[in-house]
Each structure stands twice: as structure tokens, then as C-alpha cells.
């Protein structure tokens, strides 16, 4: 019985390194790893040993006969990833057969062996890390593999682990279980976590730099990307990131004024955050009791009058920002969801023959389309539901004091910066709550260079640079390094790269 990667896949690739027969792909050194929305087990080479199950920090891998309800579709998704894979050359296959006791291994093992320590025995290295989210914890883990290293983490909040605690949806318990791995890392005697310690308030960055041989800034992207249209200041308009913080008990958002006495909420943007907030808004509060949701938020949700949550994407389904595993999880979870079939038809650019036609879709977009088509064919749910809308951009939020309507402009494929253009049509959608889920954004760190266009600190393989000049002893990892994209586990390889640069710099001492 082969194993199957399911919805909670965090992409940290621990399973890849644990697998003795190299049947999980893409691996971090394969080109499509950077864009993969999940990893996949090859059912024809999986030897069912379960090593990946123990390695996965979020419990996302299960034998195919023990799939939880709603995850059945992942058997096919895993298998389909390999359907078109090329067969190896005869010599590769022969050498693999000699090295591994399996008859039909299809790929060379790509999981790299851990490099030998770049540090001389007897040296001691003291590293400060700012932030305690996933990228910080993976960086600490990577550093603490070297017995010469000790680490101090500076965290401004009273609880550690950043977005793993305050960003992951409360009903995504598997994903949240990555905190058990972080707890494990935090138990190392060579790691100190200083809570309630904010750089710039309690200690300066210069002071932190003086205290340590090197500093890794892993402060993430703590604000939301603004949306610049009229009406964003109205009551009832908030960022999804603040709403997420509110239901996850983030101290900064405890007092967010959330009024759910309206029959429609509109979520702008259709990334995974948009799906998270929409799902929480329509889930029966009775089911949320068994999650980690903040009790105060649950009480407000119990009184919700919302009937419909419209998730608005400005582009078409093929370019939806939500990932395939999250869409599948939503479609098969029993959450009432609907999509208008007309939104799914390819919308052609007036001057070209066929852009946007199904023939140009990649495999992941094609699979998303199939799920959306299936949702569209379902009967529209009668009660509280999510509606996925495509091809619409918000033009204005209107209302007196509080928002009461959203003006949406219709788009089609075109020559604009995001590959769309306005059609000239628009509609007004009544709504008493608007959540903007258009992405997170990094903020400038006093004392470090900053690229305002991307909201990141400029770096070379994790080494902070100011123009061409290195900022000695300072490194970055996570969203402040690469921008707000990827999954929790993406930070593992990202932090490994930064730590490798740091250790190389300190190895000559
Ligand atoms: P995101 O994936 O970048 O999605 C942002 C959405 O906002 C996109 O639909 C984007 O449309 C839209 N948008 C941006 N500017 C806009 C504008 N001016 N007007 C209208 N729409 C606009 O961001 P996110 O949802 O915040 O997620 C951030 C990262 O965290 C992602 O990598 C995500 O996968 C990850 N995450 C993962 C999970 C999970 O795995 N369960 C959960 C939450 C977050 P365009 O595509 O057209 O730009």
C-alpha cells in the first residue's frame, strides 16, 4: 500500500531526506521544487516503509488505506504527478538497482548528504536570531547541528513560533502540529528564546550585533499589502491578516472590531489566506470548538449573520493564487461552496487567438480547473456558503461610516501588468464586511538596507548586502529574504542556505 502526501503538506522536504528509495518529489534540488504547491509520493516506487511518515512534521503523509475523510482525491493527485515522468536511462536504472533493494526505482536519489561542518573543532560560535517563526526555528535547527554553535532568539511577543501559531488557520490542526517540531528544537540546551524582547524597543540591532558573532534577521513580513482604492477607511473594511490574527489570539489584534451582523462578506484576493478566512466565516461554530480558535472570536462567530462569503480573484481560475491542496481540501471538506460556471470559461484577449485556452495550462492549473468545474456542477448550497468569483477587481468600497457595498470591475485577459485588462463592465455587490487578502508585506528594518518595491532586505544567498557591499555579520531568512510566498516548510531550505553562508563566513576564524 503506497503512502500519499495529503493537504497539510508543508513542503519542508523532511520526507525526501527520510525516504530510502527516493520516491518523493520534487526534491529541493529539482527545478520545480521552487514552484511546487505540494510534494508527491510515487506509488510505483514507494516501498511502504513509513520513514516519511515519521519525518513529516505536520502528519501530512498517510498510507493510502488510512486516508482521512475528504483526502481521498490525493491518491490520484500523487499518482498523476508521476504519470508523465520520463523513464531513466538504462545505465541509471542499472546502477540504482545495484544500490537499492527495490526492483523498479525510477529516479536517482537526489537528497544530498549533510555537508561536513565548516567550523573547526574547538571554535565556538554564538548566533542571534531575530524572530521565532518558522524560518527562525529552521535556521536554529540547522545551526544547532554544529556542536560549536549556540543560539539566542529574540521574540517581541509573549509566545514563540510566529505564523505557525498566529497565521495558520485554527482548524488546520495538522499544519499547526509543526509547533511540536519547533518545541523539540527549542528544548536544545544551546538555544535560548528571549520572549517580550523587541528590537528597537528593548534592545537595538547594534547591541544585538555586538553580542553575537552573527545575526540572522528572521522577522518575516509583518504587515499586509495595502489596496489603494476609495473606501478602505470605512468601518467593516479590514485586512485578512488582522482578521487571522484576531481569530488566532494574536495580542496585536485582540481588540479588532469584528461586526458580523451582515448577510454578505467579501474577501478581496484568492490566495490561501483568503480561503482560510472564508472557511472560518462559514464553518459551523460548533465545529470550531475542537480547534485552537480564540474563545473570544468563537463567541463573535456564534452570533454571525453572514450567509455568503464571496472570494474575489482579479484574474481567471488558471491564475488563482490558492494552491491545489487547499482547493481540494476545501472542495472535499463538506464546506458549502459554489462557483459560477461562466467564470470558468476561458476568457480570450480580443486581439489574440487563444491565450487562456485550456491547452496552455500547466498540470496544476489543469487539476485546479477540474476541481472548480466539479464544484460548479454541484447544486448551489442553500445555507451559509463560500462563492468563488473570478475576473473581478475591486474599484471602490462605499457606505456611510461603514461599508455597505463593493464595486467590482470585470476583467479579461489583456496587456495590463498582471495580464488582465478591464472590460468596462462593473457591478455593485452589497456587503457589510470586506477583508482584503492581497498578501503580506515586509517592513524596513532600521539599520538595514531595504528594497521597498519587494518589501525585502537585499541579500546574496542570505548575506545582507547594501548595494554591492556586504553588511558584515548580518543575514536574513524567510519572508524578509524572499518575500511572502511559499509554505511553512519552504523555510527549511531557505534557512539552510542562509546558515551555510553564515558558517562559511565564520569558518575561517
Ligand atoms: P497570495 O498567495 O500572494 O495571494 C494574494 C492574492 O491577492 C492574489 O489572488 C492576488 O492576485 C491578489 N491581489 C494582490 N493585489 C491585488 C489587488 N491590488 N487587487 C486585487 N487583488 C489583488 O497571498 P496570501 O494569500 O496572503 O498568502 C501568502 C503566502 O502564504 C502564500 O505563499 C500562501 O500559499 C501561504 N499560505 C499558505 C497556507 C496554506 O498552505 N494552508 C495558508 C495561508 C497562507 P494576483 O494573483 O492576480 O496577483
Per residue in 39-61, is it b (16+ CB within 10 Å) or e — as a string?
bbbbbebbbeeebbeebbbbbbb
With H, G, I as helix, E, B as strand and everything else as coil, classify residue 251: helix
Q: What pLDDT, on a 0 to 100 scale, did the predictor assign at position 99?
A: 41
The residues spanned by each domain of the chain are 3-99, 125-222+442-507, 226-436
Tell how far CA 498 is from the center of its chain.
20
Pull the grid cell for residue 142.
540547522
Residues in the chain: 509
Q: Is the CATH code 3.40.50.720 the one for domain 125-222+442-507?
A: yes
With H, G, I as helix, E, B as strand and everything else as coil, classify residue 275: helix
**3-99 and 226-436: identical CATH topology:** no
CA of 277 to the centre of ligand 1 (A): 12
Tell how far CA 373 is from the center of its chain.
25
Q: What pLDDT, on a 0 to 100 scale, did the predictor assign at position 234?
A: 98
Among protein residues, the one with the nearest Cα to ligand 1's atom 26 is: 439
Q: What pLDDT, on a 0 to 100 scale, did the predictor assign at position 83?
A: 86
| Choice from 133, 321, 322, 494 to test ligand 1 binding pocket (greatest atom count within 8 A of CB) | 321
CA of 48 to the centre of ligand 1 (A): 35
| Choice from 227, 438, 440 to test ligand 1 binding pocket (greatest atom count within 8 A of CB) | 438
Per residue in 169-186, is it b (16+ CB within 10 Å) or e — as a string?
bbbbebbbbbbebbeebb
pTM of the model: 0.89
Among protein residues, the one with the nearest Cα to ligand 1's atom 15 is: 438
Residue 279 contacts by C-beta under 8 Å, 6 or more apart in sequence?
Answer: 169, 171, 330, 333, 335, 386
CA of 456 to the centre of ligand 1 (A): 17
Residue the block writes with cell 508585506: 441
Ligand 1 atom nearest 169 alpha carbon? 42
Residue 220 near ligand 1, beta carbon < 6 Å: no
* Residues 319 and 419 sit within 8 Å (Cβ to Cβ): yes
Among protein residues, the one with the nearest Cα to ligand 1's atom 8 is: 269
Give pLDDT tens digits along the chain (509 positions).
789 999 999 999 999 999 988 999 999 888 888 889 999 999 999 988 888 998 999 999 999 988 999 999 999 999 999 986 655 444 444 444 444 333 333 444 444 444 556 788 788 999 999 999 999 999 999 999 999 999 999 999 999 999 999 999 999 999 999 999 999 999 999 999 999 999 999 999 999 999 999 999 999 999 999 999 999 999 999 999 999 999 999 999 999 999 999 999 999 999 999 999 999 999 999 999 999 999 999 999 999 999 999 999 999 998 999 999 999 999 999 999 999 998 997 665 555 555 444 445 788 888 999 999 999 999 988 889 999 999 999 999 999 999 999 999 999 998 888 889 999 999 999 999 999 999 999 999 999 999 999 999 999 999 999 999 999 999 999 999 999 999 999 999 999 999 999 999 998 66
Residue 329 near ligand 1, beta carbon < 6 Å: no
CA of 76 to the centre of ligand 1 (A): 26
Tell how far CA 205 is from the center of its chain.
28
Q: What pLDDT, on a 0 to 100 scale, did the predictor assign at position 288?
A: 97
| Choice from 272, 326, 441 to test ligand 1 binding pocket (greatest atom count within 8 A of CB) | 272
Cα distances from 267 to residues 111, 147, 221, 281, 470, in angstroms, run: 40, 48, 20, 11, 41
CA of 372 to the centre of ligand 1 (A): 18
Residue 236 near ligand 1, beta carbon < 6 Å: no
Among protein residues, the one with the nearest Cα to ligand 1's atom 33 is: 272
The CATH classification of domain 226-436, taken from the options 3.40.50.300, 3.40.190.10, 3.50.50.60, 3.90.79.10: 3.50.50.60
Q: Is the CATH code 3.30.70.2860 the one for domain 3-99?
A: no
Residue 16 near ligand 1, beta carbon < 6 Å: no
Going by DSSP bridges, is the β-strand pair 469-476/463-466 parallel, antiparallel, or unpaired? antiparallel
CA of 388 to the centre of ligand 1 (A): 14
Amino acid at each position: 500500500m503506497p503512502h500519499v502526501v495529503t493537504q497539510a503538506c508543508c513542503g519542508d522536504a523532511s520526507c525526501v531526506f527520510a525516504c530510502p528509495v527516493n520516491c518523493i518529489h520534487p526534491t529541493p534540488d529539482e527545478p520545480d521544487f521552487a514552484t511546487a504547491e505540494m510534494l508527491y509520493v510515487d506509488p510505483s516506487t514507494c516501498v511502504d516503509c513509513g520513514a516519511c511518515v515519521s519525518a513529516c512534521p505536520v502528519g501530512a503523509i498517510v498510507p493510502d488505506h488510512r486516508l482521512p475523510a475528504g483526502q481521498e482525491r490525493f491518491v490520484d493527485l500523487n499518482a498523476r504527478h508521476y504519470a508523465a515522468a520520463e523513464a531513466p536511462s538504462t545505465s541509471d536504472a542499472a546502477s540504482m538497482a545495484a544500490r537499492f533493494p527495490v526492483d523498479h526505482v525510477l529516479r536517482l536519489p537526489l537528497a544530498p548528504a549533510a555537508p561536513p561542518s565548516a567550523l573547526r573543532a574547538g571554535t565556538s560560535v554564538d548566533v542571534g536570531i531575530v524572530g521565532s517563526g518558522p524560518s527562525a526555528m529552521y535556521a536554529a535547527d540547522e545551526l544547532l547541528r554544529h556542536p560549536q554553535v549556540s543560539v539566542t532568539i529574540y521574540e517581541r511577543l509573549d509566545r514563540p513560533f510566529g505564523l505557525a501559531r498566529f497565521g495558520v488557520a485554527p482548524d488546520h490542526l495538522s499544519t499547526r502540529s509543526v509547533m511540536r517540531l519547533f518545541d523539540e528544537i527549542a528544548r536544545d540546551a544551546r538555544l535560548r528564546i528571549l520572549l517580550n524582547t523587541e528590537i528597537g524597543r528593548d534592545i537595538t540591532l547594534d547591541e544585538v550585533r555586538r553580542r553575537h558573532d552573527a545575526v540572522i534577521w528572521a522577522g518575516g513580513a509583518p504587515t499586509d499589502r495595502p489596496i489603494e482604492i476609495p473606501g478602505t477607511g470605512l468601518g467593516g473594511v479590514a485586512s485578512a491578516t488582522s482578521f487571522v490574527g484576531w481569530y488566532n489570539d494574536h495580542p496585536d489584534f485582540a481588540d479588532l472590531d469584528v461586526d458580523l451582523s451582515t448577510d454578505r462578506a467579501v474577501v478581496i484576493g484568492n490566495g490561501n489566506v483568503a480561503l482560510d478566512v472564508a472557511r472560518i466565516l462559514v464553518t459551523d461554530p460548533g465545529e470550531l470548538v475542537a480547534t485552537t480558535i480564540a474563545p473570544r472570536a468563537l463567541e463573535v462567530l456564534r452570533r454571525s449573520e453572514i450567509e455568503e462569503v464571496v472570494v474575489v480573484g482579479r484574474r481567471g481560475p488558471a491564475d488563482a493564487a490558492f494552491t491545489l491542496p487547499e482547493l481540494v481540501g476545501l472542495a472535499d471538506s463538506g464546506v458549502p461552496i459554489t462557483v459560477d460556471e461562466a467564470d470558468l470559461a476561458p476568457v480570450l484577449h480580443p486581439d489574440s487567438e487563444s491565450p487562456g485556452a485550456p491547452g496552455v495550462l500547466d498540470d496544476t492549473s489543469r487539476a485546479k480547473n477540474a476541481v472548480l468545474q466539479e464544484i460548479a456542477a454541484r447544486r448551489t448550497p442553500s445555507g451559509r456558503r463560500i462563492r468563488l468569483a473570478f475576473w473581478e477587481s475591486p474599484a471602490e468600497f462605499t457606505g456611510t461610516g461603514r461599508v455597505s457595498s463593493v464595486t467590482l470591475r470585470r476583467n479579461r485577459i489583456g496587456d495590463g501588468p498582471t495580464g488582465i485588462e478591464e472590460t468596462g463592465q462593473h457591478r455593485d455587490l452589497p456587503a457589510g464586511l470586506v477583508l482584503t487578502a492581497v498578501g503580506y508585506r515586509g517592513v524596513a528594518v532600521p539599520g538595514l538596507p531595504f528594497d521597498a518595491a519587494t518589501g525585502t532586505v537585499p541579500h546574496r544567498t542570505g548575506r545582507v548586502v547594501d548595494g554591492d557591499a556586504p553588511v558584515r555579520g548580518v543575514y536574513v531568512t524567510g519572508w524578509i529574504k524572499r518575500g511572502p510566498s511559499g509554505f511553512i516548510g519552504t523555510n527549511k531550505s531557505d534557512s539552510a542556505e542562509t546558515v551555510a553562508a553564515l558558517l562559511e563566513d565564520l569558518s575561517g576564524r
